[in-house]
Protein backbone atom coordinates (compact mmCIF):
# COMPACT_ATOMS: atom_id res chain seq x y z
CA UNK A 1 0.00 0.00 0.00
CA UNK A 2 1.24 3.46 -0.80
CA UNK A 3 1.80 5.75 2.15
CA UNK A 4 0.40 9.18 2.82
CA UNK A 5 1.57 11.65 0.22
CA UNK A 6 1.74 15.40 0.53
CA UNK A 7 2.35 18.04 -2.09
CA UNK A 8 4.24 20.20 -2.45
CA UNK A 9 7.13 19.14 -0.24
CA UNK A 10 8.62 22.62 -0.01
CA UNK A 11 7.05 26.01 -0.46
CA UNK A 12 8.26 29.57 -0.10
CA UNK A 13 5.72 32.36 0.18
CA UNK A 14 5.70 35.98 1.28
CA UNK A 15 3.63 37.60 3.97
CA UNK A 16 0.07 38.27 2.96
CA UNK A 17 -0.10 35.53 0.36
CA UNK A 18 -2.20 32.43 0.67
CA UNK A 19 -1.22 28.81 0.26
CA UNK A 20 -2.95 25.48 -0.38
CA UNK A 21 -1.42 22.19 0.70
CA UNK A 22 -2.60 18.81 -0.46
CA UNK A 23 -2.71 15.41 1.21
CA UNK A 24 -3.61 12.01 -0.19
CA UNK A 25 -4.31 9.45 2.56
CA UNK A 26 -3.61 5.75 2.49
CA UNK A 27 -6.21 3.92 0.44
CA UNK A 28 -9.16 3.01 2.62
CA UNK A 29 -8.43 5.61 5.29
CA UNK A 30 -11.25 8.09 5.66
CA UNK A 31 -9.86 10.18 8.51
CA UNK A 32 -7.32 12.85 7.64
CA UNK A 33 -5.76 15.07 10.28
CA UNK A 34 -3.47 18.05 9.86
CA UNK A 35 -0.73 19.16 12.24
CA UNK A 36 1.66 22.07 12.40
CA UNK A 37 5.17 21.41 13.67
CA UNK A 38 7.51 24.19 14.75
CA UNK A 39 10.60 24.17 16.98
CA UNK A 40 8.91 26.44 19.49
CA UNK A 41 5.41 25.02 19.69
CA UNK A 42 6.03 21.40 18.75
CA UNK A 43 3.33 19.34 17.09
CA UNK A 44 -0.03 21.04 17.20
CA UNK A 45 -3.33 19.70 15.92
CA UNK A 46 -5.04 21.83 13.28
CA UNK A 47 -8.13 19.89 12.27
CA UNK A 48 -9.45 16.48 11.30
CA UNK A 49 -11.74 15.54 8.45
CA UNK A 50 -13.81 12.41 8.18
CA UNK A 51 -16.16 11.64 5.32
CA UNK A 52 -15.84 15.19 3.99
CA UNK A 53 -16.83 16.73 7.34
CA UNK A 54 -14.64 18.50 9.84
CA UNK A 55 -14.82 16.30 12.92
CA UNK A 56 -12.34 18.05 15.20
CA UNK A 57 -10.68 21.43 15.27
CA UNK A 58 -7.63 22.79 17.07
CA UNK A 59 -6.96 26.26 18.39
CA UNK A 60 -5.85 28.04 15.25
CA UNK A 61 -7.21 31.25 13.77
CA UNK A 62 -9.76 31.22 10.99
CA UNK A 63 -7.02 31.88 8.45
CA UNK A 64 -6.41 28.15 8.62
CA UNK A 65 -9.04 26.12 6.85
CA UNK A 66 -9.38 22.77 5.22
CA UNK A 67 -11.62 20.47 3.31
CA UNK A 68 -11.90 16.86 2.28
CA UNK A 69 -13.08 15.44 -0.99
CA UNK A 70 -15.17 12.37 -1.65
CA UNK A 71 -12.04 10.33 -2.40
CA UNK A 72 -10.72 11.27 1.10
CA UNK A 73 -8.01 13.53 -0.29
CA UNK A 74 -7.69 16.66 1.79
CA UNK A 75 -6.44 20.18 1.34
CA UNK A 76 -5.61 22.83 3.84
CA UNK A 77 -5.45 26.51 3.11
CA UNK A 78 -3.74 29.31 4.96
CA UNK A 79 -4.72 32.82 3.98
CA UNK A 80 -2.93 36.09 4.70
CA UNK A 81 0.30 34.34 5.60
CA UNK A 82 2.33 35.56 8.56
CA UNK A 83 5.98 34.95 9.36
CA UNK A 84 4.91 32.73 12.25
CA UNK A 85 3.18 30.36 9.86
CA UNK A 86 6.57 29.05 8.75
CA UNK A 87 6.45 25.43 9.79
CA UNK A 88 6.31 21.82 8.73
CA UNK A 89 2.71 20.91 7.97
CA UNK A 90 2.00 17.26 8.47
CA UNK A 91 -0.97 15.30 7.32
CA UNK A 92 -1.93 11.98 8.89
CA UNK A 93 -4.52 9.41 7.95
CA UNK A 94 -6.09 6.77 10.16
CA UNK A 95 -7.70 3.44 9.39
CA UNK A 96 -11.21 2.57 10.49
CA UNK A 97 -11.23 1.61 14.19
CA UNK A 98 -10.88 -2.04 15.10
CA UNK A 99 -12.15 -3.65 18.24
CA UNK A 100 -9.81 -4.47 21.10
CA UNK A 101 -6.50 -2.82 20.42
CA UNK A 102 -7.97 0.47 19.38
CA UNK A 103 -6.10 1.08 16.19
CA UNK A 104 -8.02 4.31 15.74
CA UNK A 105 -5.21 5.88 17.70
CA UNK A 106 -2.60 4.92 15.11
CA UNK A 107 -2.02 7.71 12.68
CA UNK A 108 0.10 7.38 9.56
CA UNK A 109 1.95 10.56 8.75
CA UNK A 110 3.01 11.92 5.42
CA UNK A 111 6.44 13.47 4.84
CA UNK A 112 5.06 16.96 5.36
CA UNK A 113 5.17 20.25 3.50
CA UNK A 114 7.87 22.64 4.64
CA UNK A 115 6.41 26.14 4.36
CA UNK A 116 8.67 29.16 4.64
CA UNK A 117 7.09 32.60 4.85
CA UNK A 118 9.36 35.52 4.03
Partner 1 sequence: GQSLEQPSEVTAVEGAIVQINCTYQTSGFYGLSWYQQHDGGAPTFLSYNALDGLEETGRFSSFLSRSDSYGYLLLQELQMKDSASYFCAVLPGAAGNKLTFGGGTRVLVKP
1 binds partner 1 (CB under 8 A): no
**Contact with partner 1 (CB under 8 A) among 110, 113, 115, 117:** 110
For partner 1, the closer of residues 1 and 101 by Cβ is 101
Which among 9-17, 63-71, 79-87, 95-103 is the span making contact with partner 1, rule CB under 8 A? 95-103
What is the distance between the alpha carbons of residues 57 and 34, in angstroms, rounded to a whole number? 10
The answer to whether 116 touches 14, Cβ cutoff 8 Å, is no
Nearest one of 105, 87, 86 to 95, comparing CA atoms: 105
94 binds partner 1 (CB under 8 A): yes
102 binds partner 1 (CB under 8 A): yes
Cβ contacts of 77 within 8 Å, gap of 6 or more? 18, 19, 20, 21, 64, 65, 66
Name the site residues for partner 1 (rule: CB under 8 A). Answer: 4, 31, 33, 35, 42-45, 48, 50, 55-56, 58, 90, 92, 94, 101-112
Amino acid sequence: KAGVTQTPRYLIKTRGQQVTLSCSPISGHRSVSWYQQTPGQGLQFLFEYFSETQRNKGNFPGRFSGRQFSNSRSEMNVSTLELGDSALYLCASSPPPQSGRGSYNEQFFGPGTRLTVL
